[in-house]
Structure 1
Amino acid sequence: MSEIKFGVLGQYFHCPVKGDFEYAAHALILVDQQGTIVSVLTDSDTQYHAQIEALSAHQQLIELSPTQYLMPGMVDLHVHAPQFPQAGKGLDLPLYDWLQDYTFPLEAKFEDMVFAKQIYPQLVQSLLANGTTSAVYFATIHKDTSVELARECLRQGQRGYIGKVNMDEPTQCPPFYIEPSTETALKETECFIQQVLAIEGNEEQLVSPVITPRFVPSCTAELLQGLGELVQQYQCHVQTHCSESDWARDHSQAQYGKTDVEIYNDFGLMTSKTILAHSIFLTPSDHQLIKSTGASIAHCPLSNMYFANAAMQTREILDNDLKCGLGSDLAGAPIPSIFHTCLDAVNHSRVREDGTSTYLPANERGEQGSRISFLEAYWLATVGGGQAIDAKVGLFQPGFEFDALVIDTAIADSNIFILEEMDSAKDKLEKIICLNSRQNIRKVWVKGQLVVDK
């Protein structure tokens, strides 16, 4: 058993097929020294009992209780790391006021390393405790503290994708929070990429640099062009906001006569490693371009309800097989849990389908056929997110990284109440998605490393 690091014995859920799920009541998952799943055995396999005995004899067996469920780690495709201290503040404000009064003054503080070191450890710890094993982070325009966020992810064992934010357009950025110059922004971004790749202990690239233009209005054409060249040179991940609001869409049309997706593509920023947050106002040609480049969408349902002024085309995106996952958009949404984001995604689609105006007849009030299911939302949070970050996570299958959670439904004061005689496997999964809290999450592994153990 020397090549095997450990085995986990118990029941699990995952979603190999979009819109469906798989439940195994008695399974043994074997994980090797590199944190990769070697095999998944059930009690019908001939080696099942022998493997359990061998693992147990070598103290390599982790056995779950009947109220515990193994689930894939959650992937958060859109987190504003510096906004963690403002989570839950000012969300009744219009977006412009929220950014000016809270966000930009707060992000500007991250020039101070001492301040950053107060915040980032708490953020990473909170996300891991809520089951987020992989997170895609916007940091700030400051290179050194952005690298520090990468170091913190590595210290705590989270799979992190970190971007130094770029914003140099003086008409759209506050004077106290803007790049010194376009040239400086590009030099600092390249240096950031090199420093993250060279962090001691990051040889296996658990943390990765992400090229991060904040969004079209905040970036000059020269900056977007330079960032596109860095993408081609370093083959990095890319993240940005895309067609998030009427204002952002109209700005792109006024400045370029094109959609955000077309603009990013022109500047070399659309690749199979690109993550487009929000993506509310997509055209049919945007859909085609996203699909042809292999780029992904980060659906942020709760912050969309607050700030986007419209509902995302989630149903169409799923039906058209565009790559898509979920983002919390902390702190545009205040809850650092992708389980909660699953619930928000279903709610978002239901409101879109049903509509809201009581002045209209029911059959004219919403957009028919636009709801998504809990299973589809959970697939987005695991498999879809894994596809977006170009990582083999989200499934319990050989060759996939062992990013996993243990959910215990029977802890003290749990919101999850299971009745075996009434609840099917699907019922249990939906209850876990809707009702679990960070207290229910007892263990968290990332790439086979135990990073949370309650």
Structure 2
Amino acid sequence: MKNLFIGSFVDTPQLGKLRIVNDQALLVDEQGNIAGAIDVDEAVSLSDNPQIQTFRVPTGSFLIPTFCDLHLHAPQYLYLGTGLHLPLMEWLNEYAFKAEEKIDDDPEGLGHRVYSSLANRLIRSGTGAALLFGTICEESNLVLAETFQSAGLRGFIGKLSMDKSSRPTYVEASSDASLSAAERFIHRCRDIVKALPANKQFVEPVLTPRFVPTCSDELLSGLGRLASKHGVKIQSHLAEARDQVNWVKLERGVDDIDVFDRSSLLTSRTVQAHCTFLDPSSLVVLHEKGTAIAHCPLSNVYFSSQPFRLREALDLGVNVGLGSDVAGGYTADIMNAMRQAVIASRIRESYRSENEQEIQRTQPLEGSSSQSTNQSTTLAVHWTEALYLATKGGAEALGLSSGSFIPGAAFDAQQISLIDNMSGKGIGQLDFFEPVTNITEDLIEKWWCLGNEQNRTGVWVQGCKLL
């Protein structure tokens, strides 16, 4: 059956461009794709068609694309919000590896409970697609895939590949064993959905070398060959923390971006998380390779000693989206990631501005080359740009057609309700002192700053209602 949505629509079709259309009607076809926008008067007549299901977005509410989470460790949802006082490598040994091993010991029991809870949490948070790190166990990752498929969520499932580990009980036997398991997982994960029509296939496998310290050169090169052979996506961590960066440099003699590159793992199907220690020349490399970045501002505060160069990456044309980095980030809500991305960028801009002023104060005016720095662009990111990263930017990084309301795009949407039409009062933290009629940019910004789960009153993925 076709679906007709009548009301207000908000999206960001381009970076920095906020589009608000009130009194719009969108027709969604039987496959869950947007057939096109139609005149509201025509939509009213269509609403009487028994072959079309009509959904009217109430006054004071709007539809916006669902969020994409480009970096989430599914088994780490087990201990969310724990142990974040430790440096990265210590935290992995003390918490992450143990939790993942615990899931692998009981995939059908504990694993299913954790993954079901995570899927429900993502739906309530407005996330329609997630790029997921799993564990090293094939069976656990198949449970993860089946859980997301059953929930109707888009899940890009990454079986971890790691033939080196500081925890002897949590490691694959060899590079050959790891590669064999990765290839089996590709086939077994695809088998879950192969009998379904294309518009109902919500999960797919992703090659996932955890990061360079846990992968031999032989394993990484083999994964590069597998990615090319099977046309699958790739994900990993890149230049995340100083201890990790120094570890790779000492052991391999080069930076981890060079290790990934020589292993053919920087491709247009690759998403690399963090990248906080990449300089502009390395960002250029990612742009040339077509590799996307999952920006995880919250976990960067805990595990990286410097922030990600977000503005520079965007200016260079790198495809960037947002990640929660559960459990390095203590919330799966991408709304928090949006806000934190803006905060981090504004702090960077404040430091840049202060440093320029200090240089101008201390250097002679005549012949000072520092005067040219006044022409540099701001490092701050606008909230509408962060909204783009959470929706359209993330969708493009995952190769999805969703992320904006255009003909042919998958209808992945969430309904945001600002007011209770019975009482006329704002929902949750949203206080309004004048009537809300048409949706405006000021109202969207207010929701962006103050909105929460209470304001989310509907979620659709591929035209199917999940909430």
Q: Calculate the TM-score normalised by the size of structure 2.
A: 0.89
- Residue in structure 2 matched with residue 151 of structure 1 by the alignment: 146
- Residue in structure 1 matched with residue 395 of structure 2 by the alignment: 386
Contact 2:179-2:223 at 8 Å conserved across structures: yes
| Alpha-carbon offset, residue 410 of structure 1 | 2.1
What letter matches 1:50 in structure 2?
A: E
| Alpha-carbon offset, residue 324 of structure 1 | 0.6
- Residue in structure 2 matched with residue 68 of structure 1 by the alignment: 61
What letter matches 2:164 in structure 1?
A: E
- Residue in structure 1 matched with residue 445 of structure 2 by the alignment: 430
Structure 1 residue 185 and structure 2 residue 178: aligned?
Answer: yes
Taking the aligned partners of 1:57 and 1:414, their CA distance within structure 2 comes to 36
Taking the aligned partners of 1:160 and 1:144, their CA distance within structure 2 comes to 16
Matches within 5 A, 1:8-19: 8-19=5-16
Taking the aligned partners of 1:451 and 1:405, their CA distance within structure 2 comes to 10
| Alpha-carbon offset, residue 413 of structure 1 | 5.3
Change (3 A) 1:116 1:353: same
| Alpha-carbon offset, residue 180 of structure 1 | 2.2
Structure 2 SS opposite 1:405: strand
Rg bigger for which structure?
2
Contact 2:62-2:439 at 8 Å conserved across structures: no
Contact 1:279-1:297 at 8 Å conserved across structures: yes
What letter matches 2:27 in structure 1?
A: L
137, 146, 149: which one aligns with 2:132 = 137
Taking the aligned partners of 2:226 and 2:355, their CA distance within structure 1 comes to 52
- Residue in structure 2 matched with residue 417 of structure 1 by the alignment: 431
Q: Report the more deviating stretch, 255-264 or 321-330.
A: 255-264
What letter matches 1:174 in structure 2?
A: R
Taking the aligned partners of 1:375 and 1:349, their CA distance within structure 2 comes to 13
| Alpha-carbon offset, residue 400 of structure 1 | 0.5
Structure 1 residue 206 and structure 2 residue 199: aligned?
Answer: no
Contact 2:280-2:312 at 8 Å conserved across structures: no
12, 30, 35: which one aligns with 1:33 = 30
- Residue in structure 1 matched with residue 258 of structure 2 by the alignment: 262
- Residue in structure 2 matched with residue 120 of structure 1 by the alignment: 115
CA RMSD across the alignment: 2.2
Taking the aligned partners of 2:13 and 2:63, their CA distance within structure 1 comes to 15
- Residue in structure 2 matched with residue 49 of structure 1 by the alignment: 41
Contact 1:342-1:374 at 8 Å conserved across structures: yes
Contact 1:406-1:443 at 8 Å conserved across structures: yes
Contact 1:215-1:240 at 8 Å conserved across structures: yes
Change (3 A) 1:203 1:239: farther
Q: Specify every segment of 5 or more residues in structure 1 that has no aligned partner in the other structure, as ranges.
A: none
Change (3 A) 1:370 1:182: same
**Alpha-carbon deviations, 1:392-429, whole Å to 9, x = none?**
11000001000000011125751123455799822211
Structure 2 SS opposite 1:318: helix
| Alpha-carbon offset, residue 87 of structure 1 | 1.1
Q: Report the more deviating stretch, 271-280 or 346-355.
A: 346-355
Structure 1 SS opposite 2:10: strand
**Alpha-carbon deviations, 1:123-166, whole Å to 9, x = none?**
01101110000000000111111011011110000011010011
What letter matches 1:163 in structure 2?
A: G
Structure 1 residue 448 and structure 2 residue 445: aligned?
Answer: no
What letter matches 1:22 in structure 2?
A: R
| Alpha-carbon offset, residue 340 of structure 1 | 1.4
Change (3 A) 1:133 1:316: same
Contact 2:417-2:427 at 8 Å conserved across structures: no
- Residue in structure 2 matched with residue 342 of structure 1 by the alignment: 338
Structure 2 SS opposite 1:92: coil
Matches within 5 A, 1:52-451: 52-58=44-50, 60-111=53-104, 112-113=106-107, 114-170=109-165, 173-200=166-193, 202-204=196-198, 205-355=201-351, 363-364=357-358, 369-411=378-420, 414-419=428-433, 425-451=440-466
Change (3 A) 1:202 1:193: farther
Contact 1:168-1:179 at 8 Å conserved across structures: yes
Change (3 A) 1:264 1:199: same
Taking the aligned partners of 1:68 and 1:289, their CA distance within structure 2 comes to 42
**Alpha-carbon deviations, 1:30-62, whole Å to 9, x = none?**
100111000023xxx4xx312322124426110
Structure 1 residue 20 and structure 2 residue 17: aligned?
Answer: yes
Change (3 A) 1:419 1:323: farther
| Alpha-carbon offset, residue 207 of structure 1 | 0.7
Contact 1:79-1:328 at 8 Å conserved across structures: yes
| Alpha-carbon offset, residue 79 of structure 1 | 0.4
Q: Specify every segment of 5 or more residues in structure 2 that has no aligned partner in the other structure, as ranges.
A: 360-375, 421-425
Task: Give the number of equivalent residue pairs.
Answer: 439
Structure 2 SS opposite 1:25: strand
What letter matches 2:155 in structure 1?
A: G
Identity of aligned residues (%): 35
Structure 1 SS opposite 2:41: helix
Q: Calculate the TM-score normalised by the size of structure 1.
A: 0.92
